[in-house]
Structure 1
Amino acid sequence: MADRDRNPWHRFLALPNESRVKTIGVAFLVSAVSAAFVSGATVLLRPIQSANRAAEEQARIEALVENIPGIGSLLSQAGGTLSTLVVDLTSGRAADGVTPATLDAALSDPANWSALEPEADLAGLGQRPDFAQIFLLRDGSGRVSLVLLPLSGQGYGGRLDAILALRGDMNTIAGIAITGHSETPGLGARIEEASWQASFPGTELRDTAGEMRFRVARGPASGVHEVDGITGATRTGLGVTRMVRFWLGPDGYGRLLDAIDRGEF
């Protein structure tokens, strides 16, 4: 009598195709192999996806700069290239050990977020990331002539996201791009219109005493510190006002702007 095959795999394959054990086993193996392939593909594609998102963000930033009146000559002088870095908002310096490529991983750690006291939380965020990626444009002498800052806050319908461009004096707005919102169509959603965003260039954030004065007016702007309001969207305008005031203040980019103004970047 032939010796019985003791190899479990051979014994499994020898089972009849109509065997319930074999059917369940094959289904399990197919599922396991498929899951392994999907997991492997996810790991392999993650760097590519991150690079694509970074490229899209860079393209959006460059498009914003190109559309700011008078910036074309600065782009030409600087070769049309923006430099980017991650800053530590707590110190106002370049982040130590955090790069644009590792920023998402750093911000996935709750320890790299700071809770905001209610009286300081103008933008309605609850907490603020300790690191942020910014973009700089330099003139022929190497001095920062333009800085682009990502902003976020709460509008009437939900979260607002924007990129604000400041001139080299760190007080004059060069332009704004609303990159995300949930505002009411036909009302607050008009913040994404170029005609409304066109009222930002030249607006000054602070008065001569250094006090933050920027705001979205209830109607047409009446001074150098105001931008036009949107009829029927007062709460959206208030959200934009608070967002800008928070991020350009001491709990946002304030320390960074002071450092740039001192020529430390």
Structure 2
Amino acid sequence: MAKSNDSFGKTLGVVIGLCLVCSLVVSSAAVALKPLQEKNKAQDTQKYILEAANLMDRVNGDVASVYDQYIEAKVVDLATGQFDGSIDADAYDQRKAARDTATSVVPQNDIASIKRRASLAKVYLVKNDAGELDSVILPVHGYGLWSTMYAFLALEPDMNTVKAMVYYDFSDSGETPGLGGEVQNPKWKALWVGKKLFDNQGDLKIRVAKMATDKQHDVDALSGATLTSNGVQNTLMFWLGDEGFGPFIANARQGGVL
């Protein structure tokens, strides 16, 4: 009597074969699509940089060309506050560097809860149509309520006046929509424009406060999102301090790097 074609062994073989074929198709698609995904990710980041630079009105479907025309990326040695011209700024991956013990440090006062900080950081110089410096954009990040939040802080050339505070890379964030997620609310972002980082004595005074009594330095905290607001404040205190962009800002304000 002939064996049945519906035996368990043959069924299992068909299932395994089908799984292998599907896995090969998925893997091949992932490899083939990776360059496109990386390109889209880069352009998405460029879009937020242009938003911080107040240049999105120049974009007519081509983010990359506007970015290339007005934005120059540079790498800063955070320990010295000086530019490091030996590094290709466009190719430098700061997040990857922060995960490598050879290219990062553990902050002594990690109030932003970032765990490790890359020794080198990107900054973005924004030029106007005449080629003059219009603003400087600093990438900052820190822990909010449930996750790390990333932002671009744009400063006027005086390195004291805020031009924009734009949070981005929010797709994987655990911040609650309508609460912590309000960092992306245009009304809240507008509150940052014109605020001063430092007072006349050079002390860091920018503050996210429930009672915004200092019109020069205070930004209203997010209603109902105390921990996220605290996270924004801690992010600024870290990245504008001595272990962040503090040395770079000090050099720039003295005319040493810009």
Q: TM-score, normalised by structure 2?
A: 0.75
1:94 and 2:122 matched: no
The Cα offsets for residues 232-251 of structure 1, whole Å up to 9 and x where unpaired, read as: 32222221111112111111
Structure 2 portions without partners, runs of 5+:
6-11, 57-66
In structure 2, the CA distance between the partners of 1:98 and 1:89, relative to structure 1 (3 Å rule), is: farther
Partner of 1:111: 102
In 1: Cα distance, 2:44 partner to 2:166 partner: 15
In 2: Cα distance, 1:105 partner to 1:30 partner: 36
The Cα offsets for residues 107-131 of structure 1, whole Å up to 9 and x where unpaired, read as: 55331121012xx212121211223
Check the 8 A contact 1:221/1:228 in 2, yes or no: no
Check the 8 A contact 1:84/1:133 in 2, yes or no: yes
Structure 1 portions without partners, runs of 5+:
1-17, 19-23, 69-77
1:50 and 2:11 matched: no
Check the 8 A contact 1:216/1:229 in 2, yes or no: yes
In 1: Cα distance, 2:180 partner to 2:30 partner: 38
Which residue identity lines up with residue 125 of structure 2 in the other structure?
A: L
Partner of 1:264: 257
Please identify the structure whose Cα radius of gyration is greater.
Answer: 1
1:1-265 aligned at under 5 Å gives the runs 45-66=33-54, 81-92=70-81, 93-94=83-84, 96-103=86-93, 106-107=97-98, 109-117=100-108, 120-139=109-128, 143-179=132-168, 180=170, 181-261=173-253, 262-265=255-258
In 2: Cα distance, 1:229 partner to 1:108 partner: 31
Check the 8 A contact 2:209/2:221 in 1, yes or no: yes
Check the 8 A contact 1:144/1:260 in 2, yes or no: no
Which residue identity lines up with residue 113 of structure 1 in the other structure?
A: S
Partner of 2:64: none
In 2: Cα distance, 1:46 partner to 1:153 partner: 28
Q: What root-mean-square deviation, in Å, do the aligned CA atoms of Structure 1 and Structure 2 show?
A: 3.4
In 2: Cα distance, 1:100 partner to 1:94 partner: 13
- Distance apart, 1:98 and its partner CA: 4.1
In structure 2, the CA distance between the partners of 1:59 and 1:188, relative to structure 1 (3 Å rule), is: closer
In 1: Cα distance, 2:80 partner to 2:142 partner: 22
- Distance apart, 1:53 and its partner CA: 1.6
Q: TM-score, normalised by structure 1?
A: 0.73
Which residue identity lines up with residue 177 of structure 2 in the other structure?
A: P
Which residue identity lines up with residue 116 of structure 1 in the other structure?
A: P
